[in-house]
Structure 1
């Protein structure tokens, strides 16, 4: 459930608090909806749940790709950006793969955020579809 890289500094307590809010909200959404819906449904509902908890949430946030000294807008989009500090990538698939973690780590690197969650809502138990990544 928790992944990171050797030598990473711990994230701040305030960012961890936002992360705990994201995870708790995801469990609430999963309990209400269950598996089997489209990613866009979970994204919209999770955003509403987080806003209802007083958190600032942006959906489909574009981030440019850093290529050398140039920032290239190639259509990379974060599913959710919470409090400008925590990235949430939502999936509704059979199983998470390493490419999904790689995608989130890349988004963390390009955005400057340190904490991200990869959440696959298409699981019977949400804890089996949850990955926490720290950059």
Structure 2
């Protein structure tokens, strides 16, 4: 799977959504529009995926929710915050680790230019 090409397409779709809507909406609005754009490109897209955690040998399905999962491989975490922090990076890295996903994108739509709100992550623990 060509993760670089897919993430390039995801970023292109996210920029299209941001141009159309601008900053200032809830994450859910961007999520729905990005979901629509990616499906139109023919990608397998799932939203609000429950990511289980294992705690003391017990599987718990009340762990995390992945905003979007593309092609069962690429985690998309959407934010609408003033500034991305280390906690946001830790969050997506945790999703990637728990699900053994190879690539992740952290997208902050509360920016004047979306390119300033994009971080790409690679799971080096594969």
- Is there any run of 5+ residues in structure 1 with no aligned partner, and where? 1-12
Q: Which has the higher contact order (CA 8 A, sep 6+)?
A: 1
- Contact 1:18–1:83 at 8 Å: present in 2 too? no
The residue that corresponds to 1:92 in the other structure is 80
The residue that corresponds to 2:110 in the other structure is 122
- TM-score of the aligned structures, taking structure 1 as reference length: 0.86
- TM-score of the aligned structures, taking structure 2 as reference length: 0.92
Match of 1:54 among 42, 51, 65: 42
Report which of the two has the higher share of strand.
2
User: What is the rounded CA distance, in whole Å, between the counterparts of 1:14 and 1:31 in structure 2?
Assistant: 26
User: What is the rounded CA distance, in whole Å, between the counterparts of 2:63 and 2:100 in structure 1?
Assistant: 17
Shift of 1:16: 2.1
Shift of 1:93: 1.1
User: What is the rounded CA distance, in whole Å, between the counterparts of 2:16 and 2:47 in structure 1?
Assistant: 19
Shift of 1:71: 2.1
Q: Work out the number of aligned pairs and report it.
A: 123
User: How do 1:1-135 and structure 2 match up within 5 A?
Assistant: 14-135=2-123
Runs of 4 or more above 6 Å deviation: none
User: What is the rounded CA distance, in whole Å, between the counterparts of 1:47 and 1:32 in structure 2?
Assistant: 14
SS in structure 2 at match of 1:74: strand
- Contact 1:93–1:120 at 8 Å: present in 2 too? yes
